[in-house]
């Protein structure tokens, strides 16, 4: 399933939805933005760096471990009321796959991600 910028605009501040940013902590906080001209994140998004889904060898962590981590992040919010994003949509897809590996329902993908979000100055940005 996919989410678009209009969906996420409606989700900002809505406790029934969760927006998950899988970029590095530094990019999420707006401290380092090596690709896009605007730094920061979508307001209300939580940061869950995609690298934490993997072992040092590059495999997914065990399903139970991922499930516990995602359940903590979701805090009771259903997966279909959740959207993942990153810089351009690529590593966000890894988050969705990790959630499936954890045995949870599939969330949405905001494929446009940060690179699209910042193209409209009416969309809010948080650092």
Instruction: Please give the helix or strand (H or E) that residue 18 lies within, else none.
Output: strand 18-21
Measured between alpha carbons, how far is residue 74 from residues 37, 47, 123 in Å? 30, 12, 24
Question: How far apart are the C-alpha atoms of 6 and 15, rounded to whole Å?
Answer: 17
Active site (annotated) includes residue 127: no
Question: How far apart are the C-alpha atoms of 3 and 10, rounded to whole Å?
Answer: 11
Catalytic annotation, pick one of 20, 39, 42, 86: 86
Residues annotated as catalytic are 86
């Amino acid at each position: 399933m996919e989410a678009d910028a209009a969906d996420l605009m409606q989700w900002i501040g809505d406790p029934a939805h969760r927006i998950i940013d899988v970029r590095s902590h530094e990019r999420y906080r707006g401290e380092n933005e090596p690709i896009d001209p605007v730094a920061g994140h979508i307001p209300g998004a939580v940061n869950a760096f995609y690298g934490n889904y993997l072992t040092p060898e590059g495999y997914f962590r065990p399903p139970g471990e991922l499930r516990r981590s995602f359940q903590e992040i979701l805090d009771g919010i259903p997966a279909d009321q959740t959207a993942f994003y990153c810089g351009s949509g690529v590593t966000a897809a890894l988050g969705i796959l990790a959630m499936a590996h954890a045995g949870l329902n599939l969330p949405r993908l905001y494929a446009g991600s940060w690179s699209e979000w910042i193209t409209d100055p009416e969309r809010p940005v948080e650092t």
